[in-house]
């Protein structure tokens, strides 16, 4: 399951109604400043028309504030329940799919997913011959999750004698110091990669230090290693260029992961008992059985489709007959209902544009076990 759905999974078990506002919070122009001044009233009026309670209206109005000091464009996502603000996040970038102000039976985390489609962990290590900085990041997030510094020995020779047997001895001594320093850096890198299940390791810094670190990494770290030819710890290094290279590597990793899913899906086509499902009906049925490993869908294409959200297992249904006795919380748009069912059954979610799926498919799933053979017709 994605980090975001894991973080907020407990919300899906709580009773609504939930009030949501997903609005532009930019303040970069006079027009946007003027719009932000009336935005709390506009949100309040929209939720009043949907019969939101006074405590929810007050909490929402207090949360809807312009993002002063933030680079534009920036969006705000607010989720309110029982007069309390449950989520209030600023999301870098413009609105995805337009403004949304709703009151519904379940929390809708789709705007968060659209801004952070797969916040996978990755590690950036910048090394020199006597130190290293190791940072843990999440794709799509600007802030750093964790930073660790390694300070090795800075014992160096101010003057290396020329000629004679001593020159080789001094050089060997210096190499040993560098190697010991690299050992310390590698220990931290491998630990951060292992404990966070990082999917990308970016290594930069002094060329000799990079070589020593790369040679000593664990096999798991080497498997996800990408090297940037830049001595980023040196004075005058181009940090902006380095950050752009990291963003490019993260985008490549995300695209590779997406392609791997599509390849897995393509492998199942034509199989007699495929480990995949296609179409809203079969996918909902698989979610009801907690059979879905990865849920893949185009939220824009499904925005007009509605599903039933249930108060207990199987959590989601196409019709009342499929509810299996569980309380029906309400009829809600398909995308948030699908996200909720995925979170409550520990499935991963991949939002993807429809053209990436074959034959006009808008929703599919990779399954944890194959679809069984059809029952033979009665004779």
SS3 78: strand
Rounded-to-integer distance, Cα 338 and Cα 296, Å:
10
* Cβ(287)–Cβ(83) below 8 Å: no
For range 270-282, the mean pLDDT? 90
pLDDT at 20 over 90: yes
> Which candidate, 5, 11, 35, places its Cα nearest to that of 23?
35
| pLDDT at residue number 152 | 64
**For residue 78, what are the β-bridge partners?**
21, 88
3-state secondary structure of 100: strand
Over range 7-17, report the average pLDDT: 90
pLDDT, tens digit (0-9, with 9 covering 90-100), for 176-224: 666 777 888 899 999 999 999 999 999 998 888 899 999 999 999 999 9
* Cβ–Cβ < 8 Å for 322, 230: no
Residue 72 has pLDDT above 70, yes or no: yes
35, 42 Cβ separation under 8 angstroms:
no
Query: Mean pLDDT in the chain?
Result: 84
Render pLDDT for 124-182 as a digit per residue (tens, 0 to 9).
Answer: 999 987 778 899 998 877 677 788 888 765 554 343 444 444 445 545 556 666 677 78
The model's confidence at residue 379, banded by pLDDT at 50, 70 and 90, is: very low
Closest to 20 measured CA to CA, from 94, 85, 68: 85
- Residue 234 pLDDT: 60
Maximum distance among all alpha carbons in the chain?
97
pLDDT for 29-71, tens place per residue? 545 555 667 888 999 999 999 999 999 999 999 999 777 777 7
Contact yes or no for 233/133 (Cβ under 8 A): yes
Higher pLDDT: 180 or 263? It is: 263
Q: How far apart are CA 176 and CA 198, in angstroms?
A: 30
31 by Cβ neighbours in 10 Å (0-12 / 13-18 / 19+) ranks as exposed
Classify residue 35 as exposed, middle or buried by CB count within 10 Å of its CB (0-12, 13-18, 19+): middle
Please state the pTM of the whole predicted model.
0.77
- Cβ-contact 130, 184 below 8 angstroms: no
By DSSP bridging, strand 292-297 and strand 363-367 are antiparallel
| Interacting residues of 172 by C-beta distance below 8 A, sequence separation 6+ | none
CA dihedral of residues 214, 215, 220, 226 (deg, nearest 10): 30
**322, 288 Cβ separation under 8 angstroms:** yes
From the list 218, 241, 245, 226, the residue with the least C-alpha distance to 123 is 226
CB 96 within 8 A of CB 299: no
- DSSP assignment string, 256-314: HHHHHHHHHHHHHTT-SS-SEEESHHHHHHHHHTT-EEEEEE-TTTTTT-EEEEESSTT
| Number of C-beta neighbours around residue 1 at 10 A | 17
**Judging by DSSP bridges, how do beta strands 131-138 and 146-151 pair with one another?**
antiparallel
């Amino acid at each position: 399951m994605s980090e975001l759905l894991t973080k907020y999974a407990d919300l899906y078990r709580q009773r609504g109604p939930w009030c949501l506002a997903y609005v532009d919070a930019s303040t970069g122009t006079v027009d946007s400043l003027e719009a932000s001044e009336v935005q709390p009233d506009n949100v309040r009026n929209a939720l009043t028309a949907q019969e939101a309670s006074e405590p929810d209206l007050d909490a929402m109005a207090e949360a809807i504030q312009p993002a002063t000091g933030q680079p534009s464009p920036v969006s705000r996502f607010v989720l309110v329940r029982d007069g309390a603000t449950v989520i209030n996040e600023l999301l870098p970038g413009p609105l995805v799919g337009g403004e949304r102000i709703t009151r519904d039976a379940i929390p809708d985390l789709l705007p968060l997913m659209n801004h952070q489609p797969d916040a996978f962990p990755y590690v950036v290590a910048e090394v020199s011959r006597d130190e290293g900085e190791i940072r843990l990041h999440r794709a799509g997030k600007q802030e750093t999750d964790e930073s660790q510094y390694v300070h090795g020995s800075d014992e160096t020779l101010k003057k290396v004698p020329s000629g004679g047997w001593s020159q080789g001895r001094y050089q060997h001594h210096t190499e040993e110091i560098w190697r010991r320093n690299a050992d310390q850096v590698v220990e931290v890198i491998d630990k951060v990669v292992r404990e966070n299940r990082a999917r990308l390791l970016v290594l930069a810094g002094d060329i000799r230090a990079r070589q020593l670190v790369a040679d000593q990494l664990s096999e798991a770290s080497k498997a996800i290693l990408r090297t940037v030819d830049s001595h980023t710890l040196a004075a005058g290094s181009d940090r902006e260029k380095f950050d752009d290279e990291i963003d490019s590597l993260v985008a490549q990793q995300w695209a590779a992961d997406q392609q791997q899913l599509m390849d897995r899906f393509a492998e199942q086509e034509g199989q007699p008992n495929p480990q995949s499902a296609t179409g809203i009906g079969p996918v909902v049925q698989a979610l009801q059985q907690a059979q879905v490993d990865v849920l893949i869908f185009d939220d824009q294409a499904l925005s007009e489709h509605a599903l039933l959200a249930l108060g207990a297992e199987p959590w989601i249904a196409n019709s009342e007959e499929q509810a299996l006795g569980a309380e029906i919380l309400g009829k809600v748009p398909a995308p948030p209902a699908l996200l909720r069912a995925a979170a409550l059954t520990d499935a991963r979610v991949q939002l993807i544009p429809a053209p990436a799926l074959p034959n006009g498919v808008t929703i599919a799933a990779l399954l944890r076990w194959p679809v069984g053979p059809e029952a033979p017709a009665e004779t």
